[in-house]
Amino acid sequence: MAGDTVPKCSSSCRKFFGILLAGSLLPGCAGTWDFLTSERFKSRPVGSLFDSNGDPMTILETSNDGHQRALALRDLREPKRKGKSEAEQEKALTFLRTSAVNDSRAMCRLEAIEALGRFEDPRAVPILIDAYKNAGYEGSSDPNVKPAGGASIPSAASTFTPDTVTDIQVRAIHALGKHRKPEALPFLCEIASMRIES
């Protein structure tokens, strides 16, 4: 009987420890929930927190796993600043646009927005504006459909909670503020005036 108790306790302790760490490492409740329900966490509750994710660009090209994609977006660094080609830069921005504006998983949107805040490329600014505007919607499923003039592409209301929508919008505003680009100023002023009026 004692032999049966030890494995159960050990498994329970590992899962509990994993849940505590996941809550402290991932952005917001939505990100934590997405991670805790992922296949990767179910199969290896603690190990999945520390696994190396591999090359971010390769994972974004090949994987549909939400947790893997979120980690890849978190680890993604601007190709141009690492001496890579314009084609690599464009590919990275395409991945970030698709995730920040259209992804149905909150943790992927949040990590893409954080990554865009690190990019120095001025093309990140309109993507962040679209991410803010599209926070409450499921975007077009076609990654080649790009909003014109900063307009969003809502196709249906998302399943995100109001708190998650607010979190996405706040992160987008914060990332825009980090850019300090003049192109972002009119939009930030518009948001500020809307907040003051309400």
Confirm whether pTM is higher than 0.85.
Answer: no
With contact defined as beta carbons under 8 Å apart, do 172 and 184 qualify? no
CA 138 to chain centre: 14
Q: Is 145 exposed, middle or buried (0-12, 13-18, 19+ CB in 10 A)?
A: middle
SS3 of residue 160 by DSSP: coil
Which structure tokens are listed for 55? Answer: 């090359």
Per-residue pLDDT of the chain (198 residues; tens, 9 = 90+): 444 443 444 454 444 444 434 444 444 444 455 556 656 556 665 555 555 468 999 999 999 999 899 999 999 999 999 999 999 999 999 999 999 999 999 999 999 999 999 999 999 999 999 999 999 887 654 444 444 334 444 456 678 999 999 999 999 999 998 888 888 888 888 888 876 765
Pick the closest to residue 152 from 173, 118, 126, 183 (CA basis).
Answer: 126
DSSP string, 64-107: --HHHHHHHHHH---TGGGT--HHHHHHHHHHHHIIIII-SSHH
Q: Is 67 exposed, middle or buried (0-12, 13-18, 19+ CB in 10 A)?
A: buried
Main-chain phi, psi angles of 23, to 5 degrees: -65, -30
pLDDT given for residue 117 in this prediction: 95
SS3 of residue 138 by DSSP: strand
